[in-house]
Structure 1
Amino acid sequence: MCLSLTTAAREHFRELALLRRVRDRIGREGIVDLEVLARDAGMTAEHLSRRFQLAYGCSPHGYQRLATAVRNREARGPEPAVA
């Protein structure tokens, strides 16, 4: 394997790990402040938003809305059965 390809693959996996940490943090803490998330990931807000969208199919804010909806649904408990 070419050395530059190996380096690129390592960088790609490192970025995916950072994005996974951002995703987990959003799900756990509900953090929406993109600037804080980006600074902690060592990226600009624009870069983080673009890369997050490519990796997960929605923006960090969109993911936060989905995570909140799931938490709210779980807190309500099971839906009553309709006859």
Structure 2
Amino acid sequence: MCLSLAAAARQHLRELVLLRRVRDRIDADPARPLDIEAFAHSVDLPVALFVRRFRDAYGLSPHGYRRAVEAIRNREASPVAPKVA
């Protein structure tokens, strides 16, 4: 592995760790408004690149991820009606 490739791999892993921390913060406090600029700053990326990297890592934008988590929580919280034969 050439030096630049190794450096790129280290940078990528560092970004994934930081993105995971952002995702964990989103999960930890679902009522808190998303501050995309603060998240991007914490990862040391411009906002557009942060959103793109988050989407690459998790398949959704930060807002889309929040909505998906809320939908899952709502589904889990709602009682399941028994099936009538």
Please state which band the TM-score falls in when normalised by the shorter chain.
0.7 to 0.9
Query: How far does residue 60 in structure 1 lie from its aligned partner after superposition?
Result: 0.5
Q: Which has the higher contact order (CA 8 A, sep 6+)?
A: 1
Aligned length: 82
Counterpart position of 2:41:
39
Please give the alpha-carbon distance, in whole angstroms, between the structure 2 residues aligned to 1:33 and 1:59.
13
Greater Cα offset, 54-63 or 27-36: 27-36
Q: How does 1:1-80 map to 2 (within 5 A)?
A: 1-30=1-30, 31-76=33-78, 78-80=79-81
Query: How far does residue 71 in structure 1 lie from its aligned partner after superposition?
Result: 2.2
State the identity as a percent: 52
Please give the alpha-carbon distance, in whole angstroms, between the structure 1 residues aligned to 2:76 and 2:43.
29
Please give the alpha-carbon distance, in whole angstroms, between the structure 1 residues aligned to 2:69 and 2:36.
16
Query: How far does residue 38 in structure 1 lie from its aligned partner after superposition?
Result: 1.2
Unaligned stretches of 5+ residues in structure 2: none
Q: Determine which structure has the larger helix proportion and give its number.
A: 1
Q: Normalising by the residue count of structure 1, what TM-score does the alignment of the two structures yield?
A: 0.84
Unaligned stretches of 5+ residues in structure 1: none
